[in-house]
Structure 1
Amino acid sequence: MINEQLLNPSGIVVVGGSDDIQKPGGKVLRNLLDGDFKGRLYVVNPKVDEVQGVKSYRKVDDLPQVDCAILAIAAKYCPDAVEVLAKQKGTKAFIILSAGFSEENAEGAALESRIVDTVNSVGGALIGPNCIGVLTTHYNGVFTTPIPALDPRGVDLISGSGATALFIMDAGMQKGVKFSSVFSVGNSAQLGVEEVLEYLDESFDPEKSSRVKLLYVESIAKPEKLLKHASSLIRKGCRIAAIKSGGSAAGSRAASSHTGALASSDVAVEALFRKAGIVRCNGRDELATVAGIFMYPPLQGKNMAIVTHAGGPAVMLTDALSNGGMEIPHLEGEKALQLLEQLFNGSSVGNPIDFLATGTAEQLGIILDACERDFDAVDGIAVIFGSPGLFPVFDVYDMLDRKMKTARKPIFPIFPSYTIVKEEIKAFADKGRVYFPDEVLFGNALAKVWHTAAPQPENPVLPAVNVQKIRAIIDQAGNGYLAPEQIHGLLDAAGIERAKEGVADQEEDCVRLATEIGYPLVMKVVGPVHKSEVNGVVLHVKDEQTVRREFRRMMQIKDTYAVMLAQQLSGTEVFIGAKREQKFGHMVLCGLGGIFIEVLKDVKAGLAPLSCTEAREMIRQLKSYKIIQGVRGQEGVNEAKFAEAVARISVLVKIAPEIFEMDLNPLLGNKAGVVAVDARIRIEKEN
């Protein structure tokens, strides 16, 4: 676990410290010195007695007691050094910068395992190996530059990639974002992203802790832990954004070669982030932009005013926000006319509010006051102000700063210029302000933040099911696809309404069953997996003669051992499925059913268990949601019943984790309800 010796050590030794600041051991020492580390500082270097003015010891055996060790030596020497430090020098915190461990080969993995065993034996904390180090407000334990401004209320960054951590810091610094801590976990031999997040959650202090967390992950080793602590932090008032890379096949290979970790299913990751309330980003600049947005008060609505002195950027921002589902309300009426009278001729106030390249700081203040006071339809204000190069804009940025201090509505500053107004921007950032250089990147990021829902409840209300009956069927089942009667039993126990149906392997039984169910009927082969591909499905069966003829024909189809009969119902075809995903548990999916799954691929996934509320949110995120609502006279689907069925399946797979995959395709939905027509369930029990 993370400990005080890692966060705020009384002493640090750099093993492999050097006078050469172009080497990791030299650079990390230089950063510690430049960062004015308050504790005792030591170096181990077998060749010299002093490094960069710091006393150097020839061997780790010669060191005094020391809290934290930063290792920048060859991998093969690390286990012995850690052994001496942990067992003899009281060292409880280790940061291993060196590469050459599990990310490289089996020999390196063995070295890494030995180090972990040693650190664990003394209750220590290990960051790395194969990382850039750790930054806290107490010390600069990284070998990279630049070092960002460190502030207890800045951003906490946790990254599986050291270089990416550096580049994220750089992107944030360009926007005025400050950092509270940076953990580059590298191979995550002992402490990974999940463990650091766990510490940030369990140690969270509403008066002192940062409320913004950024994550870069290539593999999620412990999804339940990540979900638990991310959602817990967000419920405590934090905001979290993350990049999860390695979602494509090629990206997965790259991630594997980078860290030695297996990439996770991207659909499962998407579902986890949505359940936790994490804003998912696709790149470093977007992540840094979202971090900047997090530094402002949350929007209370999605209506934005755009204040600008440049038409083109305002149009592009309008497009980005509108395409992202935000609103740019038209401003009109007496208050709008009064505002227009106070601006130069040629200005416009309809929204965007354009006060021209010659607009003044005073006019900007008037506009911001109007947006704050007079236009209730406005929830937030984006101010685009670069410079036409006509005059300095210190007064404009000072006005922005003053208004931001008193405004109830968040004001987001977008500064498209840099070279011309570099000094003005620096002065603005020096006041502790965050700004955004690109209006489109900002607009896309703001829309993504707005549409990221709050985390799901820790203990959601779930539909009641017959647990005893479910377990009885599963315990008696073998691996493979379940028989129809077993499927029917599970659906009934889960409370899933299903069509009247039955199975027969004799012609007379089939005729009798048809009479019991009633016409019209659907007949399907039992045995072949893809029934329609073998001509094993017949619709609109209306009489006994057809039942007999189709039974005889179907029984001749390869692999068929029986025929299933079901009442033929009408409605919109929808789909519910589930799949067991390694480490993540079960994903539950929903969408339009039948052939639409393959053609449209419009499916949403959630991690089991799902409440009816969460299931309903998934349904409403479908691109085909309008069809489910009912369009052009077509009867819609009972949304509440559909969501309840999704939630019930999520409870079923939670109770029966042996279910490897299942498809309810289709279910027929109408205003009355949702009825399962066909289902497949495959069991895979661990040996």
Structure 2
Amino acid sequence: MLHQKLINPKSIVVVGASNNVQTPGGRVLKNLLDHNFKGEIYAVNPKETEVQDIKCFQNIKNIPSVDVAIIAIAAKFTLETIKILVKEKNTKGFIIFSAGFSEKDNEGKKLEQAIVDEINAVGGTLLGPNNIGLINQNYTGVFTTPIPKLDSKGVDFISGSGATAVFIIEAAMATGLTFSSVYSVGNSAQIGVEEVLEHLDETFDKTTSSKVKLLYIESINNPKKLLKHATSLIQKGCKIAAIKAGSSTAGSRAASSHTGALANSDIAVDALFKKAGIVRCYGRNELITVASIFMHAELNGKNIAIITHAGGPAVMLTDALSKNGLNVPEIKSKKSKALLEKLYLGSSVSNPIDFLATGNAEQLETIIDYCEHKFDEIDAMVVIFGSPGLFEVYDVYEVLHKKIQTCKKPIFPILPSVVNVKNEIDYFISKGNINFPDEVLFGNALGKVVHTVKPITIKEKTTPINSEKIRTIIENSKNGYLQPQQVKQLLLYAEIPMVDEAVCTTKETCLKAAKKMGFPVVLKVVGPVHKSDVGGIILNITSEEKLAASFDVIMKIKGATSVLIQPMKKGIELFIGAKKEDKFGHLVLCGLGGIYIEVLKDTQAALTPVSKNEALEMIRNLKSYKIIQGIRNQKGINEHQFAEIIEKISNLVDVAPEIAELDLNPLLGTSEEIFAVDARIRIEKN
């Protein structure tokens, strides 16, 4: 929880204050003065007696008690300054601009930790070090410009990068997006993005708090905290979009299983965001566009009317919306003919509604009224209106402003003439509106927003699981891949349906097992991890002679310890996997199995715990879902049973978190049953 004095201080000291506003200490003081901080401001600089027309103290010991300290001095002087502030000045909020800490070297890391220890001892809060500061409606504690327009209904923005925060603020201001607060966490020595989000969640007020949160994250140190508070905020009515930069695939390159190769930290981020209901973005402009969509009324439905006076942007927007699963339906009725009669000759109302380059404000108002009141099939409107620069278009934007305020259906303005009608767009934005300068970026962003589902609440597990017996196997096992019999026992205790099988070290036991199962059978090598790579799978063995010969072939494979025998079964090959992913916990994946897992790499992933409904959504989002449903006279599989097995795997790794990697590949599925044919599990303790 962030200390209240950091959020709403009555007094602030700038340590390293300067008359030179091109320095951090000078600029932050100017920002505080220019933006009317209502409390007391103190300045500290050993070389000055007055800074920017306020009294300056030469020694930190001489200032009165102070709520917040903004520190802009060399790193080597910060610890002693902090000690004085916490012990003598009752300071609880700290913003450290200075660099030269953990981002530099080990000595810097030790210094940073010493500062954190001092602040923790008095229950204070530290932002930084190595950051740009904090902006909220109480004060502008940053050394950067520009300072965005502050509005309680604007967005709360938390950034792991100060420079990126500045760039996003600059771009957002040009579109009319406003901010409620901006937090720059820098090195996150004490608090990071997750802790600030926690604060926004725990202090959320549905009548006064911003309902849009933006995140720029370079590292997720506490995924569970991020998931908890993002989910909580969204369930309270908020909307969240985030960029997660700096993904790595190094871990997946070293993995030995199919699951390990497919699952990596970036897939874990995707799964976390999806579970929380966060819209994931990959660039600054996309983040701003998604946030701007959040600031409009929520879209109910997928049918969009494009109102334009320019053909090209309308075509590109139609393509973008269509690719993202949204509709630009044809408008064809007596009402549309009546609308056409009110427009200039050559106009089109079929959708896009093109009222030509000569279209005027009156015609735009008429078109919007038809879409709002007469075209019931339309759920929202996008208005594209620029200018060739021949005349002013204030009247058009005035109509647009009025209709945005009064229409129940959302209206999204795309105003691309950012040079020709800059003054008119500035006027439009000054009235509290937001502009989307690029139609394709808007179309793609709207698709993301529409297709991001609300957080999934996991109820208590209902699938029975034999926890004690599972724990006994895990506790008695060593690190590495489990033996086939151990795998079989674990899966049986987790109630995963399995094909009958036996592990044989002699031909005699293999023949005995075959007679019990009935021909045809399958033989598989036990020992090597990737059986197919070493020729360790022999299918459709139909006689005792073939069985004996196949046994000899498999036992000659390097590393073979025994032979696994199973009855030959048919069905659609499926895949379920699980992998422990660092701080995120376990990822569970599903898809088509067998060789398809390597060729298609068509999988869906979710962070545990995974409910049956979440598992069904994973299955239905597969590109290969039509195969699972059944295609070209081939029956599909029982997808509800597939989802139940996914849920049971989630429960298994919850009971046995030591499972580092798990592969069920393949499972064989029919419309009646699904069972695991091959499985491997790797244990990693401590």
Q: TM-score scaled to structure 1, two decimals?
A: 0.96
Asked whether the equivalents of residues 462 and 610 of structure 1 are also in contact (C-alpha less than 8 Å), the reply is: no
Aligned to 1:31: 31
CA distance in 2, matches of 1:324, 1:423: 33
Contact 2:154 2:210 in 1 (8 A): yes
2:618 is matched with: 618
CA drift at 1:540: 0.5
In structure 1, what is the equivalent of residue 440 of structure 2?
440
**CA distance, structure 1, for counterparts of residue 250 and residue 40 of structure 2:** 46
Structure 2 counterpart of 1:616, one-letter code: L
Cα deviation digits, residues 526-553 of structure 1 (max 9, x gap): 1111211222111001122222221123
For residues 639-678 of structure 1, what are the structure 2 equivalents within 5 Å? Answer: 639-678=639-678
Distance (Å, rounded) in 2 between the aligned partners of 1:248 and 1:331: 47
Distance change in 2, residues 1:395/1:462 (3 Å): farther
CA shift, 1:622, in A, is: 1.6
Verify: 1:84 aligned to 2:84, yes or no: yes
1:62 maps to what in 2?
A: 62
Match of 1:498? 498
CA distance in 1 between counterparts of 2:516 and 2:87 reads 78
SS at match of 1:327: coil
Cα deviation, residue 250, structure 1: 9.9
Aligned to 1:626, the other structure's residue is in SS state: helix
Stretches of 4+ moved more than 4 A in 1? 248-252
Tell me the distance in 2 between the aligned counterparts of 1:353 and 1:669: 49
Aligned partners of 1:577 and 1:661 also within 8 Å? yes
Following superposition, the deviation at residue 460 of structure 1 comes to 5.9
Distance 1:323 1:244 in 2: 24
Query: 1:462·1:612 contact (CA, 8 Å) conserved in 2?
Result: no
Q: Letter of the aligned partner of 1:415 in structure 2? A: L
Tell me by how many angstroms 1:70 deviates.
0.3
Match of 1:602 in 2: 602
Partner of 1:569: 569
Cα offsets for 1:640-667 (capped at 9, x unmatched): 1111111111111111001010100011
Instruction: Output the aligned Cα RMSD.
Output: 1.4
Aligned match of 1:261: none
Report which stretch shifted further, 279-288 or 335-344. Answer: 335-344
SS at match of 2:305: strand
Corresponding position of 2:317: 317
Are the equivalent residues in 1 in contact too, given 2:458–2:609 (CA < 8 A)?
no
- In 2, are the aligned partners of 1:462 and 1:651 still within 8 Å (CA)? no
8 Å Cα contact 2:458/2:610 also seen in 1: no
Contact (CA 8 Å) 2:309, 2:359: kept in 1 or not? yes
Indicate whether 1:407 and 2:407 are aligned.
Answer: yes
CA distance in 2, matches of 1:102, 1:462: 46
- Contact 2:310-2:354 within 8 A present in 1 as well: yes
Q: 1-side partners of 2:87 and 2:398: how far apart?
A: 57
Displacement after TM superposition at 1:634 (Å):
2.4
Matched to 1:214, the amino acid is: L
Shift of the alpha carbon at 1:376? 2.2
Alpha-carbon distance, 1:596 to partner: 1.2
Per-residue Cα deviation, 1:611-659 (whole angstroms, up to 9, x for no partner) = 0111111122222222222222222222111111111111111110010
**Counterparts of 1:125-274 in structure 2 under 5 Å?**
125-248=125-248, 265-274=265-274
Residue 527 of structure 2 is matched in structure 1 by 527
Q: Deviations over 1:403-428 (max 9, x none)?
A: 11221111000101012211211111
Separation in 1, partners of 2:459, 2:235: 13
The CA distance in 2 between the partners of 1:674 and 1:395, in whole Å, is 65
Query: Is this contact kept in 2: 1:460–1:611, CA < 8 A?
Result: no
Aligned twin of 1:464:
464
Local SS of the residue matching 1:387: coil
CA shift, 1:248, in A, is 4.3
Corresponding residue SS for 1:219: coil
Alignment of structure 1 residues 244-393 onto 2, 5 Å: 244-248=244-248, 265-393=265-393
SS of aligned partner of 2:590: strand
Residue pair 1:462, 1:647 contacting (<8 A) in 2 also: no
* Amino acid in structure 1 at the alignment position of 2:246: G
Distance (Å, rounded) in 1 between the aligned partners of 2:514 and 2:520: 9
| Alignment match, 1:260 | none
| 2:623 maps to amino acid | K
**AA aligned opposite 1:114:** A
1:391 and 1:598 map into 2 onto residues whose CA distance is 59
Letter in 1 for 2:611: S
Equivalent position amino acid for 1:333 in 2: S
- Number of aligned residues: 675
Distance 2:393 2:642 in 1: 57
**Deviation of 1:390 (Å):** 3.1
Distance 2:150 2:410 in 1: 24
Corresponding residue SS for 1:583: helix
How far apart in 1 are the matches of 2:93 and 2:626?
A: 56
